[in-house]
Structure 1
Amino acid sequence: MSTDPSASRRKAPIERAAEITRAAREIALDEGLSALTLRAVASRIGVTPALVSHYQPSMDSLVASTFGAIVAAEIGEVAEELAPCETAVAALQTLIDTLLGPERSTVTAVWLDAWSLGRRHPALAVEVGVQMDAWQAFLAVLLNTGCARGEFRAIDPDAVAWQLLAIIDGLNAHAIVRYGHARRLRGLVRTVAEHELGLRSGALGPGDDSGRRPEPDHPPAPITVPVC
Protein backbone atom coordinates (compact mmCIF):
# COMPACT_ATOMS: atom_id res chain seq x y z
CA MET A 1 0.00 0.00 0.00
CA SER A 2 1.27 3.46 -0.85
CA THR A 3 2.46 5.55 2.11
CA ASP A 4 2.16 8.81 0.19
CA PRO A 5 0.39 11.17 2.65
CA SER A 6 -1.32 12.92 -0.25
CA ALA A 7 -2.91 9.70 -1.51
CA SER A 8 -5.79 9.61 0.97
CA ARG A 9 -6.63 13.33 0.90
CA ARG A 10 -9.64 14.45 -1.07
CA LYS A 11 -8.64 15.36 -4.61
CA ALA A 12 -10.37 17.06 -7.49
CA PRO A 13 -11.91 14.53 -9.90
CA ILE A 14 -9.54 15.44 -12.72
CA GLU A 15 -6.54 15.04 -10.42
CA ARG A 16 -7.72 11.66 -9.11
CA ALA A 17 -8.50 10.39 -12.61
CA ALA A 18 -5.00 11.38 -13.77
CA GLU A 19 -3.51 9.62 -10.74
CA ILE A 20 -5.36 6.40 -11.57
CA THR A 21 -4.26 6.59 -15.21
CA ARG A 22 -0.65 7.14 -14.17
CA ALA A 23 -0.74 4.24 -11.70
CA ALA A 24 -2.20 1.93 -14.34
CA ARG A 25 0.61 2.80 -16.73
CA GLU A 26 3.24 2.17 -14.06
CA ILE A 27 1.77 -1.23 -13.20
CA ALA A 28 1.59 -2.27 -16.85
CA LEU A 29 5.23 -1.33 -17.45
CA ASP A 30 6.51 -2.79 -14.17
CA GLU A 31 4.49 -5.99 -13.97
CA GLY A 32 2.60 -6.42 -17.25
CA LEU A 33 -0.97 -5.87 -18.41
CA SER A 34 -2.16 -9.01 -16.63
CA ALA A 35 -1.23 -7.40 -13.30
CA LEU A 36 -3.45 -4.41 -13.99
CA THR A 37 -6.38 -5.03 -11.64
CA LEU A 38 -8.70 -2.90 -9.55
CA ARG A 39 -6.90 -3.88 -6.35
CA ALA A 40 -3.46 -3.30 -7.84
CA VAL A 41 -4.31 0.24 -8.91
CA ALA A 42 -5.93 1.00 -5.56
CA SER A 43 -2.91 -0.33 -3.67
CA ARG A 44 -0.51 1.62 -5.86
CA ILE A 45 -2.12 4.97 -4.99
CA GLY A 46 -3.29 4.13 -1.46
CA VAL A 47 -7.06 4.28 -1.90
CA THR A 48 -9.92 1.79 -1.77
CA PRO A 49 -10.84 -0.34 -4.80
CA ALA A 50 -14.31 1.21 -4.65
CA LEU A 51 -12.84 4.65 -5.33
CA VAL A 52 -10.92 3.38 -8.35
CA SER A 53 -14.07 1.67 -9.58
CA HIS A 54 -15.93 4.97 -9.33
CA TYR A 55 -13.52 6.54 -11.81
CA GLN A 56 -12.87 3.41 -13.87
CA PRO A 57 -16.00 1.23 -13.82
CA SER A 58 -14.61 -1.02 -16.58
CA MET A 59 -11.18 -2.53 -16.01
CA ASP A 60 -11.23 -3.90 -19.55
CA SER A 61 -11.45 -0.34 -20.85
CA LEU A 62 -8.68 0.79 -18.51
CA VAL A 63 -6.38 -2.02 -19.69
CA ALA A 64 -7.08 -1.12 -23.33
CA SER A 65 -6.55 2.61 -22.86
CA THR A 66 -3.39 2.00 -20.82
CA PHE A 67 -1.94 -0.16 -23.57
CA GLY A 68 -2.87 2.45 -26.17
CA ALA A 69 -1.23 5.25 -24.20
CA ILE A 70 2.01 3.29 -23.74
CA VAL A 71 2.31 2.46 -27.45
CA ALA A 72 1.36 5.96 -28.59
CA ALA A 73 4.06 7.35 -26.32
CA GLU A 74 6.59 4.95 -27.83
CA ILE A 75 5.77 6.10 -31.36
CA GLY A 76 6.29 9.67 -30.21
CA GLU A 77 9.65 8.80 -28.68
CA VAL A 78 10.83 7.02 -31.81
CA ALA A 79 9.68 9.94 -33.96
CA GLU A 80 11.86 12.25 -31.87
CA GLU A 81 14.84 9.93 -32.36
CA LEU A 82 14.35 9.96 -36.13
CA ALA A 83 13.82 13.73 -36.39
CA PRO A 84 17.54 14.65 -36.67
CA CYS A 85 18.10 12.16 -39.55
CA GLU A 86 18.71 13.98 -42.81
CA THR A 87 17.85 11.07 -45.10
CA ALA A 88 15.20 8.36 -45.18
CA VAL A 89 17.99 5.75 -45.26
CA ALA A 90 19.48 7.12 -42.04
CA ALA A 91 16.03 7.29 -40.44
CA LEU A 92 15.28 3.66 -41.32
CA GLN A 93 18.64 2.51 -39.98
CA THR A 94 17.98 4.38 -36.72
CA LEU A 95 14.48 2.92 -36.47
CA ILE A 96 15.74 -0.65 -36.88
CA ASP A 97 18.51 -0.13 -34.33
CA THR A 98 16.07 1.46 -31.88
CA LEU A 99 13.24 -1.07 -32.12
CA LEU A 100 15.62 -4.02 -31.78
CA GLY A 101 17.51 -2.51 -28.85
CA PRO A 102 17.11 -3.59 -25.23
CA GLU A 103 15.75 -0.16 -24.31
CA ARG A 104 12.41 -1.13 -25.87
CA SER A 105 12.06 -4.48 -24.11
CA THR A 106 9.59 -3.18 -21.53
CA VAL A 107 7.17 -1.97 -24.19
CA THR A 108 7.74 -5.17 -26.18
CA ALA A 109 6.56 -7.14 -23.13
CA VAL A 110 3.42 -5.00 -22.98
CA TRP A 111 2.79 -5.76 -26.66
CA LEU A 112 3.12 -9.50 -25.99
CA ASP A 113 0.66 -9.23 -23.11
CA ALA A 114 -1.80 -7.35 -25.31
CA TRP A 115 -1.65 -9.89 -28.13
CA SER A 116 -2.33 -12.70 -25.68
CA LEU A 117 -4.94 -11.04 -23.46
CA GLY A 118 -6.69 -9.52 -26.47
CA ARG A 119 -8.02 -12.99 -27.34
CA ARG A 120 -10.42 -12.73 -24.40
CA HIS A 121 -10.83 -8.97 -24.09
CA PRO A 122 -12.56 -7.34 -27.08
CA ALA A 123 -11.73 -3.77 -26.04
CA LEU A 124 -8.05 -4.60 -25.84
CA ALA A 125 -8.17 -6.47 -29.17
CA VAL A 126 -9.61 -3.38 -30.84
CA GLU A 127 -6.90 -1.18 -29.34
CA VAL A 128 -4.19 -3.61 -30.47
CA GLY A 129 -5.49 -3.24 -34.01
CA VAL A 130 -5.53 0.54 -33.73
CA GLN A 131 -1.95 0.66 -32.50
CA MET A 132 -0.68 -1.86 -35.06
CA ASP A 133 -2.22 0.31 -37.77
CA ALA A 134 -0.60 3.38 -36.21
CA TRP A 135 2.85 1.75 -36.31
CA GLN A 136 2.37 0.59 -39.88
CA ALA A 137 1.27 4.08 -40.92
CA PHE A 138 4.28 5.61 -39.17
CA LEU A 139 6.74 3.34 -40.98
CA ALA A 140 4.85 3.58 -44.29
CA VAL A 141 5.23 7.37 -44.25
CA LEU A 142 8.99 6.95 -43.84
CA LEU A 143 9.22 4.43 -46.69
CA ASN A 144 6.98 6.42 -49.02
CA THR A 145 9.00 9.55 -48.30
CA GLY A 146 12.18 7.67 -49.16
CA CYS A 147 10.61 6.50 -52.44
CA ALA A 148 9.50 10.02 -53.31
CA ARG A 149 13.06 11.24 -52.77
CA GLY A 150 14.53 8.47 -54.86
CA GLU A 151 16.32 6.87 -51.90
CA PHE A 152 14.17 3.71 -51.93
CA ARG A 153 12.67 1.66 -54.76
CA ALA A 154 9.69 -0.51 -53.95
CA ILE A 155 6.52 -1.68 -55.64
CA ASP A 156 4.41 -1.38 -52.47
CA PRO A 157 6.04 0.53 -49.60
CA ASP A 158 2.95 0.05 -47.41
CA ALA A 159 3.29 -3.74 -47.68
CA VAL A 160 7.03 -3.51 -46.97
CA ALA A 161 6.18 -1.61 -43.78
CA TRP A 162 4.01 -4.52 -42.61
CA GLN A 163 6.72 -7.01 -43.56
CA LEU A 164 9.45 -5.23 -41.60
CA LEU A 165 7.25 -4.75 -38.54
CA ALA A 166 6.33 -8.44 -38.56
CA ILE A 167 10.01 -9.43 -38.57
CA ILE A 168 10.91 -6.92 -35.86
CA ASP A 169 7.99 -8.02 -33.67
CA GLY A 170 8.93 -11.67 -34.10
CA LEU A 171 12.57 -11.16 -33.19
CA ASN A 172 11.64 -9.05 -30.17
CA ALA A 173 9.13 -11.67 -29.02
CA HIS A 174 11.86 -14.31 -29.20
CA ALA A 175 14.27 -12.11 -27.25
CA ILE A 176 11.71 -11.50 -24.47
CA VAL A 177 11.72 -15.21 -23.64
CA ARG A 178 15.50 -15.34 -24.09
CA TYR A 179 15.34 -17.20 -27.38
CA GLY A 180 17.92 -15.54 -29.58
CA HIS A 181 19.15 -11.99 -29.27
CA ALA A 182 17.24 -9.27 -31.13
CA ARG A 183 20.19 -6.89 -31.22
CA ARG A 184 22.44 -9.49 -32.83
CA LEU A 185 19.78 -10.21 -35.45
CA ARG A 186 19.42 -6.61 -36.58
CA GLY A 187 21.38 -7.62 -39.67
CA LEU A 188 18.51 -9.88 -40.74
CA VAL A 189 16.09 -6.96 -40.74
CA ARG A 190 18.60 -4.74 -42.51
CA THR A 191 19.17 -7.32 -45.22
CA VAL A 192 15.43 -7.78 -45.83
CA ALA A 193 14.88 -4.01 -45.87
CA GLU A 194 17.75 -3.47 -48.31
CA HIS A 195 16.37 -6.14 -50.64
CA GLU A 196 12.77 -4.89 -50.54
CA LEU A 197 13.75 -1.22 -50.93
CA GLY A 198 16.33 -1.64 -53.69
CA LEU A 199 19.29 -0.58 -51.56
CA ARG A 200 22.85 -1.77 -51.99
CA SER A 201 24.08 -4.40 -49.56
CA GLY A 202 25.27 -2.72 -46.37
CA ALA A 203 23.41 0.55 -46.98
CA LEU A 204 21.60 0.21 -43.63
CA GLY A 205 24.68 -0.81 -41.67
CA PRO A 206 26.70 -3.95 -41.03
CA GLY A 207 25.20 -7.41 -41.23
CA ASP A 208 25.56 -7.86 -37.46
CA ASP A 209 26.58 -5.75 -34.48
CA SER A 210 30.15 -6.94 -34.70
CA GLY A 211 30.50 -4.72 -37.75
CA ARG A 212 30.90 -7.71 -40.09
CA ARG A 213 28.37 -8.71 -42.75
CA PRO A 214 28.25 -12.51 -43.14
CA GLU A 215 29.20 -13.75 -46.59
CA PRO A 216 26.35 -15.50 -48.45
CA ASP A 217 26.77 -19.10 -49.56
CA HIS A 218 25.97 -18.04 -53.11
CA PRO A 219 26.24 -14.63 -54.82
CA PRO A 220 22.92 -12.78 -54.48
CA ALA A 221 20.83 -12.30 -57.61
CA PRO A 222 20.60 -8.72 -58.86
CA ILE A 223 17.57 -6.79 -57.55
CA THR A 224 15.34 -5.22 -60.19
CA VAL A 225 12.57 -3.22 -58.56
CA PRO A 226 10.62 -0.43 -60.28
CA VAL A 227 10.70 3.02 -58.79
CA CYS A 228 7.67 3.96 -56.68
Structure 2
Amino acid sequence: MSRAVRPRAARKSPEERAAEIRAGAHDVALEGGLWAVTLRSVAARVGVTPALVAHYQPNMEVLVADTFTAVVAAEMAEVAGIIEPYSSPTDRLAALIHTLVETGRDDVTAVWLDGWSLGRRSAPLATAVRGQMDAWQHLVLGVVEAGCSTGEFTASDPQTVAWHLLGMVDGLSAQGLVSYRDPAARGRLITDALEHALGLPAGALASPESAPAPTPAPAP
Protein backbone atom coordinates (compact mmCIF):
# COMPACT_ATOMS: atom_id res chain seq x y z
CA MET A 1 0.00 0.00 0.00
CA SER A 2 1.43 3.34 -1.00
CA ARG A 3 1.75 6.06 1.62
CA ALA A 4 0.86 9.69 1.11
CA VAL A 5 3.95 11.79 0.69
CA ARG A 6 4.03 15.02 2.68
CA PRO A 7 5.06 17.93 0.46
CA ARG A 8 8.43 19.34 1.46
CA ALA A 9 8.13 22.65 3.28
CA ALA A 10 9.43 25.63 1.37
CA ARG A 11 12.90 26.68 2.46
CA LYS A 12 12.83 29.74 4.71
CA SER A 13 15.29 31.58 6.88
CA PRO A 14 15.46 30.53 10.54
CA GLU A 15 13.89 33.85 11.53
CA GLU A 16 11.00 33.42 9.08
CA ARG A 17 10.39 29.84 10.16
CA ALA A 18 10.44 30.71 13.87
CA ALA A 19 7.99 33.56 13.30
CA GLU A 20 5.75 31.27 11.26
CA ILE A 21 5.67 28.72 14.07
CA ARG A 22 4.84 31.39 16.64
CA ALA A 23 2.02 32.67 14.43
CA GLY A 24 0.72 29.13 13.96
CA ALA A 25 0.68 28.54 17.71
CA HIS A 26 -1.12 31.86 18.19
CA ASP A 27 -3.86 30.85 15.73
CA VAL A 28 -4.25 27.41 17.28
CA ALA A 29 -4.61 28.93 20.75
CA LEU A 30 -7.32 31.35 19.66
CA GLU A 31 -9.26 28.58 17.93
CA GLY A 32 -8.88 25.78 20.46
CA GLY A 33 -7.28 27.21 23.60
CA LEU A 34 -3.83 26.66 25.05
CA TRP A 35 -4.63 22.97 25.51
CA ALA A 36 -4.63 22.65 21.72
CA VAL A 37 -1.10 24.03 21.27
CA THR A 38 0.89 20.83 20.63
CA LEU A 39 3.72 19.86 18.33
CA ARG A 40 1.30 18.16 15.97
CA SER A 41 -1.32 20.91 15.90
CA VAL A 42 1.21 23.67 15.29
CA ALA A 43 2.97 21.60 12.64
CA ALA A 44 -0.32 20.95 10.88
CA ARG A 45 -1.23 24.63 10.97
CA VAL A 46 2.11 25.69 9.53
CA GLY A 47 2.35 22.79 7.09
CA VAL A 48 5.62 21.32 8.36
CA THR A 49 6.64 18.21 10.27
CA PRO A 50 6.42 18.03 14.07
CA ALA A 51 10.17 17.47 14.07
CA LEU A 52 10.72 20.84 12.44
CA VAL A 53 8.56 22.55 15.05
CA ALA A 54 10.56 20.78 17.75
CA HIS A 55 13.77 21.98 16.14
CA TYR A 56 12.72 25.62 16.48
CA GLN A 57 10.74 25.20 19.69
CA PRO A 58 12.37 22.39 21.69
CA ASN A 59 10.44 23.29 24.85
CA MET A 60 6.67 23.23 24.31
CA GLU A 61 6.03 24.69 27.75
CA VAL A 62 7.93 27.80 26.68
CA LEU A 63 6.04 27.96 23.37
CA VAL A 64 2.71 27.74 25.21
CA ALA A 65 3.81 30.45 27.65
CA ASP A 66 5.01 32.70 24.84
CA THR A 67 1.76 32.10 22.97
CA PHE A 68 -0.27 33.07 26.03
CA THR A 69 1.72 36.28 26.37
CA ALA A 70 1.28 37.15 22.69
CA VAL A 71 -2.49 36.62 22.75
CA VAL A 72 -3.11 38.50 25.99
CA ALA A 73 -0.69 41.36 25.28
CA ALA A 74 -2.33 41.93 21.90
CA GLU A 75 -5.74 42.27 23.54
CA MET A 76 -4.40 44.66 26.16
CA ALA A 77 -2.81 46.83 23.47
CA GLU A 78 -6.13 46.87 21.62
CA VAL A 79 -8.07 47.89 24.74
CA ALA A 80 -5.50 50.57 25.61
CA GLY A 81 -5.96 52.00 22.14
CA ILE A 82 -9.75 52.03 22.54
CA ILE A 83 -9.76 53.93 25.83
CA GLU A 84 -6.88 56.31 25.08
CA PRO A 85 -8.94 58.91 23.11
CA TYR A 86 -11.25 59.58 26.06
CA SER A 87 -10.16 62.62 28.02
CA SER A 88 -12.18 61.85 31.16
CA PRO A 89 -10.98 59.06 33.50
CA THR A 90 -14.64 58.19 34.10
CA ASP A 91 -15.25 57.71 30.38
CA ARG A 92 -11.98 55.76 30.00
CA LEU A 93 -13.03 53.43 32.80
CA ALA A 94 -16.53 53.02 31.37
CA ALA A 95 -15.08 52.26 27.93
CA LEU A 96 -12.65 49.74 29.42
CA ILE A 97 -15.38 47.89 31.32
CA HIS A 98 -17.78 47.73 28.41
CA THR A 99 -15.06 46.68 25.99
CA LEU A 100 -14.01 43.79 28.22
CA VAL A 101 -17.51 42.45 28.94
CA GLU A 102 -18.86 42.78 25.41
CA THR A 103 -19.35 39.66 23.33
CA GLY A 104 -16.73 38.57 20.84
CA ARG A 105 -13.84 38.05 23.27
CA ASP A 106 -14.53 34.45 24.24
CA ASP A 107 -11.41 33.22 22.46
CA VAL A 108 -9.10 35.35 24.61
CA THR A 109 -11.11 34.56 27.76
CA ALA A 110 -10.61 30.85 27.06
CA VAL A 111 -6.86 31.43 26.72
CA TRP A 112 -6.85 33.14 30.12
CA LEU A 113 -8.74 30.25 31.71
CA ASP A 114 -6.35 27.73 30.20
CA GLY A 115 -3.43 29.81 31.43
CA TRP A 116 -4.65 29.67 35.03
CA SER A 117 -5.41 25.95 34.79
CA LEU A 118 -2.32 24.76 32.92
CA GLY A 119 -0.10 27.19 34.81
CA ARG A 120 -0.55 25.12 37.96
CA ARG A 121 1.82 22.56 36.48
CA SER A 122 3.94 24.73 34.18
CA ALA A 123 6.37 27.20 35.72
CA PRO A 124 6.96 29.10 32.44
CA LEU A 125 3.23 29.54 31.89
CA ALA A 126 2.60 30.54 35.51
CA THR A 127 5.27 33.21 35.19
CA ALA A 128 3.72 34.47 31.95
CA VAL A 129 0.24 34.60 33.50
CA ARG A 130 1.45 36.57 36.51
CA GLY A 131 3.31 38.97 34.23
CA GLN A 132 0.21 39.71 32.15
CA MET A 133 -1.96 40.06 35.24
CA ASP A 134 0.51 42.66 36.51
CA ALA A 135 0.39 44.44 33.13
CA TRP A 136 -3.41 44.63 33.24
CA GLN A 137 -3.27 45.83 36.86
CA HIS A 138 -0.91 48.60 35.74
CA LEU A 139 -3.25 49.66 32.92
CA VAL A 140 -6.35 49.79 35.13
CA LEU A 141 -4.47 51.40 38.01
CA GLY A 142 -3.39 54.23 35.71
CA VAL A 143 -7.02 55.02 34.91
CA VAL A 144 -8.10 54.86 38.56
CA GLU A 145 -5.20 57.01 39.76
CA ALA A 146 -5.91 59.58 37.04
CA GLY A 147 -9.50 59.84 38.27
CA CYS A 148 -8.35 60.22 41.84
CA SER A 149 -5.91 62.97 40.91
CA THR A 150 -8.64 64.98 39.13
CA GLY A 151 -11.13 64.48 41.95
CA GLU A 152 -13.52 62.42 39.82
CA PHE A 153 -12.88 59.33 41.98
CA THR A 154 -12.64 59.21 45.76
CA ALA A 155 -10.96 55.81 46.23
CA SER A 156 -8.54 55.67 49.15
CA ASP A 157 -6.80 52.56 47.78
CA PRO A 158 -6.56 52.64 43.95
CA GLN A 159 -4.49 49.43 43.90
CA THR A 160 -7.28 47.46 45.53
CA VAL A 161 -9.94 49.00 43.28
CA ALA A 162 -7.96 47.98 40.18
CA TRP A 163 -7.53 44.45 41.52
CA HIS A 164 -11.21 44.31 42.42
CA LEU A 165 -12.19 45.33 38.88
CA LEU A 166 -9.95 42.76 37.21
CA GLY A 167 -11.17 40.01 39.52
CA MET A 168 -14.78 40.76 38.62
CA VAL A 169 -14.03 40.97 34.89
CA ASP A 170 -12.17 37.65 34.98
CA GLY A 171 -14.86 35.83 36.93
CA LEU A 172 -17.83 37.19 35.00
CA SER A 173 -16.12 36.69 31.64
CA ALA A 174 -15.55 33.05 32.58
CA GLN A 175 -19.24 32.73 33.38
CA GLY A 176 -19.99 34.20 29.97
CA LEU A 177 -18.26 31.26 28.28
CA VAL A 178 -21.21 29.11 29.33
CA SER A 179 -23.74 31.87 28.60
CA TYR A 180 -24.55 32.45 32.26
CA ARG A 181 -26.71 35.56 32.33
CA ASP A 182 -26.42 38.16 29.59
CA PRO A 183 -23.48 40.51 28.93
CA ALA A 184 -25.50 43.58 29.96
CA ALA A 185 -26.33 42.06 33.35
CA ARG A 186 -22.69 41.07 33.90
CA GLY A 187 -21.63 44.58 32.97
CA ARG A 188 -24.05 46.15 35.45
CA LEU A 189 -22.64 44.05 38.28
CA ILE A 190 -19.21 45.52 37.56
CA THR A 191 -20.28 49.12 37.01
CA ASP A 192 -22.51 49.17 40.10
CA ALA A 193 -19.64 47.91 42.27
CA LEU A 194 -17.09 50.30 40.78
CA GLU A 195 -19.38 53.33 41.07
CA HIS A 196 -19.74 52.59 44.78
CA ALA A 197 -16.01 51.99 45.26
CA LEU A 198 -15.05 55.20 43.45
CA GLY A 199 -17.70 57.49 44.92
CA LEU A 200 -19.42 57.98 41.55
CA PRO A 201 -23.13 58.63 41.12
CA ALA A 202 -25.28 55.72 39.99
CA GLY A 203 -25.09 55.28 36.24
CA ALA A 204 -21.83 57.19 35.82
CA LEU A 205 -20.18 54.13 34.27
CA ALA A 206 -23.25 52.97 32.37
CA SER A 207 -21.68 53.96 29.06
CA PRO A 208 -18.87 56.25 27.98
CA GLU A 209 -19.46 59.42 26.04
CA SER A 210 -18.56 59.18 22.37
CA ALA A 211 -14.83 59.14 21.86
CA PRO A 212 -13.47 62.15 19.99
CA ALA A 213 -12.67 61.57 16.34
CA PRO A 214 -8.97 61.20 15.64
CA THR A 215 -7.27 64.39 14.47
CA PRO A 216 -6.48 64.11 10.75
CA ALA A 217 -2.82 64.17 9.86
CA PRO A 218 -1.60 67.45 8.35
CA ALA A 219 -1.25 67.53 4.61
CA PRO A 220 2.34 67.03 3.44
Q: What TM-score, normalized to structure 1?
A: 0.85
Q: Distance in 2 between matches of 1:179 and 1:189?
A: 15
Q: Distance in 2 between matches of 1:145 and 1:120?
A: 38
Preserved contact between residue 190 and residue 204 of structure 1 (Cα < 8 Å): yes
Partner of 1:191: 192
The 5 Å alignment of 1:95-134 reads 95-134=96-135
Preserved contact between residue 102 and residue 183 of structure 1 (Cα < 8 Å): no
C-alpha displacement at 1:177, in angstroms? Answer: 1.9
Which letter maps to 1:75? M
C-alpha displacement at 1:113, in angstroms? Answer: 0.9
Q: Distance in 1 between matches of 2:88 and 2:105?
A: 23
* Number of equivalences: 201
C-alpha displacement at 1:45, in angstroms? Answer: 1.1
Say which SS state the counterpart of residue 152 (structure 1) adopts: coil
Q: C-alpha deviations, 1:90-147, integer Å up to 9, x for none? A: 0011111000011222101110111111111111111111111111111001100111
Preserved contact between residue 98 and residue 104 of structure 1 (Cα < 8 Å): no
- Structure 1 residue 87 and structure 2 residue 88: aligned? yes
Structure 2: runs of 5+ lacking an equivalent: 1-6, 208-220
Preserved contact between residue 147 and residue 153 of structure 1 (Cα < 8 Å): yes
Q: Distance in 2 between matches of 1:8 and 1:155?
A: 59
Q: Distance in 2 between matches of 1:145 and 1:37?
A: 43
Which letter maps to 1:81? I
Partner of 2:163: 162
Q: C-alpha deviations, 1:68-111, integer Å up to 9, x for none? A: 11111111000110011120000011111000011222101110
Which aligned segments of 4 or more residues in structure 1 are displaced greater than 4 angstroms? Answer: none
Which letter maps to 2:137? Q
Say which SS state the counterpart of residue 11 (structure 1) adopts: coil
Partner of 2:29: 28
Preserved contact between residue 33 and residue 114 of structure 1 (Cα < 8 Å): yes
Whose relative contact order is higher, 1 or 2, with alpha carbons under 8 Å and at least 6 apart? 2
Q: Distance in 2 between matches of 1:69 and 1:125?
A: 14
Q: Distance in 2 between matches of 1:201 and 1:116?
A: 36
Which letter maps to 1:51? L
Q: Distance in 2 between matches of 1:183 and 1:114?
A: 26
Q: What TM-score, normalized to structure 2?
A: 0.88
Partner of 1:210: none
Indicate the RMSD between aligned Cα atoms, in angstroms.
Answer: 1.3
C-alpha displacement at 1:181, in angstroms? Answer: 2.5
